Amino acid sequence: MVRKGNKKDAPLIADWAILYIQNYLNIRTQRYAPDKSEKALFLTKYAGKAKRIATNTIERFVSMYSEVRSISRQ
């Protein structure tokens, strides 16, 4: 991935998550029909067009699912 300042980085992905990402990739093109120039992995549809998911949306998802996971462990 490319960060601010055009710095390249490789995100760490847990082994158990690989299957989920592969499944998502199988439906990504059909569901979102992104432009060939779209490099973002995770997309949303806005006004009929595929757009990258905003950083704050990802942060909300992580927070929400972390909280749910924490509650289910109790």
> Going residue by residue through the chain (74 aa), what tens digit of pLDDT does each one get?
788 888 888 888 899 999 999 999 999 999 999 998 988 888 999 998 999 999 899 889 888 888 766 666 65
- Whether the model pTM is above 0.75: no
Residues 52 and 11: their CA atoms lie apart, in Å, by: 17
Q: Which residues of 34-68 are buried (b: 16+ CB within 10 A; e: fewer)?
A: beeeeeeeebeeeeeebeeeeeeeeeeeeeeeeee
- Residue-level length of the chain: 74
Residues 37 and 61: their CA atoms lie apart, in Å, by: 25
